Structures are given as C-alpha cells and as structure tokens.
Structure 1
Amino acid sequence: MVISVCPNLSVDTYASLDSMELGKVNRMNSVQEFPGGKGTHVALAIAEFAGESSLLAFWGGATGQWMRQACEAYGVSTAGPVLAANNRKSYTFISANPSLHHTELLEPGPSISKSEFDQLIADILKSQSQGDVVVISGSWPKDSPENAYQLAVAASADAGGKVIVDCSGKHLSKALESKVFGMHLNAHEAEDICGSGEVEKVMGKLSTKVDLIAYTKGAEGLYLSYLGKIFHARLHLDEVISTVGCGDCLTAGIAYALDRGLSVAEIARYGVAFGAANCLRPELGMLHKSDVQKLLPMVEINELKYA
C-alpha cells in the first residue's frame, strides 16, 4: 500500500481570464476546482492506476469536507484531523496573455495546534504497516513545528515504512536529518541543497543520506538513483495541456512501482509515464490510467555509469 500525506491541502482552482490590471476590477471568464495539494495529487494518481490509495491530511472546514468527499469518490480512503478553519485555495490563471498564463496565487492555509499535529502523526502510524511506502509532500500549515517533516519522517520510518519526501527549503533540510528512504527534487532544490545541479554531484552528495533519489531536470527528464544504479528516463510529448501536478504524479509512479517491487529501470519508467500522463489532461494534478498504459512503452531508459 502507498500512503500519501498532504499536510497542507488545497482546492486547486483553474481561473481563465483575458488580462489582469493591478488596482482595477478583473473578472474571470470561468473557474474549475479540483482537490489539490502535492500529496493529494499523489493519492489520486495511485487510486486511478491501482484502484486503491490512502490519503492523510488536515481537513479544514467546508473546503476540507468537499475535498474529502471528492477524494473518496475517486477511490481514495481518507483519515486525519478535522479543522474548524477552511483549507486554502490555490489559483492557476489561464490566459492568452503569456505574462499571465499559468501564474499562480497560493493562500497560506489554516493554522494547527500541537494536539492536531500530534493527531496527524498518530493517524499516520495507525494507517501504515511494515514495508508500506509513505509519501509525504508539500508544505505544512501555519504554526506547525519547524521540524514537522523531521518528526513525521522519523515516526513513519520507525514504524517500518519506506518514506519518500517531496519538499523544499528548510523542510527538506530538516527531513534529511531523519531516516529518509527516498526523495524527489528538482534542479532548483538541488542547487539549494547540494550547491550544484550536476547529476553526478547531486547523486554523490545525497546518496550517503538517502537510498532512492529521483532528480527531475525539466525537459531532460528523470535521473533515478537506487540500489547502486542510476537510470536516465525521459519521454517526448507532442502536446502539453498542463504541467500543474506532473512532478507529484511522477512521485506517485515511483511510489507505485517501488511498492510493487519492480526493478530500478521500471521504477524510473513508471515515474516518467505517470508524470507525462498528467500533462495530457486539463484536470489539475490528475491522470488517466489509459494514458499511463499508452506511455509506459514509449519511455526511453538508459543506465548511466560514473567513474
């Protein structure tokens, strides 16, 4: 089982508008809403492909109730503390104006108490079994402990889970102080944490702390280091509708393949196919199983050798 943890849920909102002028009234042409947050995207992707998935989060107010019902309708089982305040909204603007297209505005989300934080950690431990893959991704709500990732990772690892993290900044630094099994990072995060974006240097520095490293470099694709091997996987798409959530879906593919004990090359293949499938649909952070199945044999895989 893959257990997804989304500490800071979000209602992902696609907002279409022609232009935006600061200091003036701006009217949107249309709005679409989807259950979101990085961990939510992971859970939904796995549920669509595998038929079973679990999501733990802080469910806030009316928006949290709506997202919980939406996730369960997709086949995702849910757990976690219920908050009084609403979860946040994240806006992605769609426009013919290139300076505005895919601009994002993110609300901060609700605050949590120490007891609510402790309850989420307890729910994570209650939900997982020995050997489960646990994916913890995204930001944490306001007033969370500064070392929230470190505490969550340590608890899950102590319970026997293979913990994969997808976060940045101080959250990533703190997470690496615990028993992290795997991580997904992009070029910006690699520069920040390793001081370099070069694949060999990133893998060399992080492999002493982490068993599985999924390093994505945009159009270059995925570099995956695991069990002493490094594979480069990529896939060309003729058309991309939306890239929102593709990194989360890539993490989902890696977690799915890892949970099923596939080879390192196949873990990389599933990661890229899941991520690319997300780009083919207008729904934010979601994919279709039929797209993944079509893309899997199209992924180019090469093993890399470093001196």
Structure 2
Amino acid sequence: MILAVCANPSVDAFWNIDDIQKGTTNRSTNEQYFPGGKGIHVALALKELNSIVATLGVWGGITGQWIKEECHKKDILTIGPDVKEWTRTCITNKSNTQWKDTEFLGAGPSLTASQTEQFLSSYTQELNKSSVEAVILSGSVPTGMDKDIYKQMVLEARSHDIPSYVDASNKLLDHALEAQPFVVHINREEGKALTGHDDPITIATSLREHCQIAAVTAGKDGLYLAADNHIYHGRHTINQKNIISTIGSGDCLLAGLCKAILTREDIGEWAKLATACGSANCIHPQLGMFNAQDVNRIFNQVRLEII
C-alpha cells in the first residue's frame, strides 16, 4: 500500500466568469467540482494505476466529508481527524478571457495542537502496518501545523524503513530537505526560489544533495530526473488544442514516478512513466486525474534523453 498524505485537502472548482468586475456581482455560467489537494490528486492517480492507496488528511465539515466520500467511491481508504471547520474550496476560472486560469485559493481549517497530534498519531499508526511501501507528502498544511511537520514525518517514515516522497515549497520544503527524503519533486519556479538557478538540470543536480532522487518539472519542457549520477529528461508534446487543464499534472507525475520506482528497475522507464502520467492529466476532463489507457499510449511517445 502507498500512503498519500494530504494535510490540507480541498474542493477544487472550475467556474466560468467571462468578466470580473470590482465591487459588484460576478456570476458564473457553469461550475464543476472535484476532490482536490495535491495528495488527493496523487491518491486518485495511483488508484488509476492499480495501486492500493490510503490518504491521510484533515477532514473539515461538510466539504471534508464530501471529499472522503469521493475517495471511498474509488476504494481509497481515508484516515485522519475530522474537524468542525470546513475543508477549503479552491476556485479556478476557466472562461476563455483574460481571466482564464485566475485562481482563488481557500485557506482551510485552523487546527489546535490536539488536532495536529491526532493527525500525526494516525500517521504513525498507519506506518506501523507492514503493508505500507511508500509515503508521499504533498502540498500545503493547515494553519496550526508547524512548518517542520514534513521533516518530522520523513524521519518517522525512515524509522520504519519506508521511503518518503516530498512535493512541497517554501519553509515546508526547506525543513523537509534537512531530513533527506528519498525523492523530492518540485517545479522550476520552486527550484529557482530554492537554489537561485533557473536551469532545471542545475536545479535537479543541486537538489540531489538533499535526497536520493530529484524530480524537477519544467512545464512543456518536461521532466528532469536526477538519479544514479545522470539526468533523465522525459518530454512529451501535446497539441495545445487538446489541453483541458494542467492543474494536477505535477501530482500525477509524482504518482507515476512512485509507481514506476516500486514496480520497474529501469530508471529511464521511471522518467517515461512519470512524464506520461503528467501529460495524460492535461487531456483528461476531470481535474487532477487521468485515464490509464492514455498513460499507456503516451508512454511509448515520450522522448527520453540521458544527460
């Protein structure tokens, strides 16, 4: 089983508002809602790849329960504390105007020390089960959690001899790197903030000093995977008119990378499967998700270069 951690899940929404005016009413012409948060996307993607998955989160109010129900429909186990404050909602405007892809991100519940302790206790209990093969720590955390919580969780996983994968930014990432996780995934913008470099190869090489495997994504330029003293560059080109949304592509890529590492020996195939998963997300109508058939088709189209 793979444990996908999503401390701050969200209800992800697509709204269509053609023109946003200040200080007055703005109406959407269409809305769609999806279970979200980076760790939820990871869990859904892994399930589509036929993995056994559990997701650990903080489930707030009605919105939190809805996300749990959507996970249960996919046979994804949900663990972690229920709290009264509602899980956040994150809105992306999808109209074909200047406001396209404008985002409004909710904050999520504010946790007490006791609730954070419940979250960590659920994590430790899950790690004590012999079936956990990997832990993936993704995204932001609610107010009230310390910024070194991922560091704590990486160290706890190591004490159980379980590899940890981290996808985070800012202080969460800085502290997590101190614990030397197994895999770290960041995008180029996060890499530039961390290292001061813009070149994804340089970022991946620098990041490798803090983990065994470093994955840096660079949008249409693809994946740069630092492993085994080489950089594996996976790239797949999608016709722009076929792209529905890129939201969740990095999460799907990380899910594919974890699946590949657990099931395949060839590092080049790790890069290809991860790239295929990220690309397949872009053409799927459900946010932060893909179809396994698309992944299999794209896998054979990925261009791989070993640097």
TM-score (norm 1): 0.95
How big is the shift at 1:199? 3.4
Instruction: Show the counterpart of 2:84.
Output: 84
Q: Distance in 2 between matches of 1:198 and 1:283?
A: 31
- Cα deviations across residues 87-112 of structure 1 (Å, max 9, x unaligned)? 00000101121x20011100100011
Q: Distance in 2 between matches of 1:200 and 1:249?
A: 21
Change (3 A) 1:156 1:130: farther
How big is the shift at 1:51? 4.7
Q: Distance in 1 between matches of 2:107 and 2:8?
A: 9
Segment of structure 1 superposing worse, 146-155 or 13-22: 146-155
In structure 2, list runs of 5 or more residues that go unmatched.
none
Q: Distance in 2 between matches of 1:272 and 1:236?
A: 10
- Cα deviations across residues 248-295 of structure 1 (Å, max 9, x unaligned)? 101110011112243211111111111111001121101111111111
Instruction: Show the counterpart of 1:170.
Output: 171
- Contact 1:51/1:75 (CA < 8 Å) preserved in 2? no
Instruction: Show the counterpart of 2:193.
Output: 192
Instruction: Show the counterpart of 1:246.
Output: 249
How big is the shift at 1:24? 1.1
Q: Could you tell me which amino acid in structure 2 is paired with residue 258 of structure 1?
A: I
For the residue of structure 2 that corresponds to 1:176, the secondary structure is helix
Describe how 1:1-307 pairs up with structure 2 within 5 A: 1-97=1-97, 99-128=98-127, 129=130, 132-238=133-239, 239-304=242-307
For the residue of structure 2 that corresponds to 1:100, the secondary structure is coil
Identity of aligned residues (%): 34
Q: Distance in 1 between matches of 2:78 and 2:304?
A: 35
- Cα deviations across residues 29-82 of structure 1 (Å, max 9, x unaligned)? 111111000000000001112152111111111111110010110121111111
Segment of structure 1 superposing worse, 190-199 or 215-224: 190-199
How big is the shift at 1:130? 7.5
Change (3 A) 1:87 1:25: same
Segment of structure 1 superposing worse, 193-202 or 272-281: 193-202
Q: Distance in 2 between matches of 1:134 and 1:84?
A: 27
TM-score (norm 2): 0.95
Segment of structure 1 superposing worse, 207-216 or 147-156: 147-156
- Contact 1:131/1:160 (CA < 8 Å) preserved in 2? no
In structure 1, list runs of 5 or more residues that go unmatched.
none
Q: Distance in 2 between matches of 1:46 and 1:103?
A: 28
Q: Distance in 1 between matches of 2:90 and 2:30?
A: 15
Q: Which ranges of 4 or more aligned residues in structure 1 deviate by more than 6 Å?
A: none
How big is the shift at 1:169? 0.8
Q: Could you tell me which amino acid in structure 2 is paired with residue 259 of structure 1?
A: L
Q: Distance in 2 between matches of 1:157 and 1:179?
A: 10
Segment of structure 1 superposing worse, 49-58 or 65-74: 49-58
- Cα deviations across residues 114-171 of structure 1 (Å, max 9, x unaligned)? 2222222222222234872211010000111131221122112222111111111111
- Contact 2:3/2:132 (CA < 8 Å) preserved in 1? no
Q: Distance in 2 between matches of 1:220 and 1:115?
A: 44
- Contact 2:201/2:224 (CA < 8 Å) preserved in 1? no
Q: Distance in 1 between matches of 2:86 and 2:190?
A: 30
How big is the shift at 1:197? 2.0
How big is the shift at 1:179? 2.9
Segment of structure 1 superposing worse, 33-42 or 13-22: 13-22
Q: Could you tell me which amino acid in structure 2 is paired with residue 294 of structure 1?
A: R
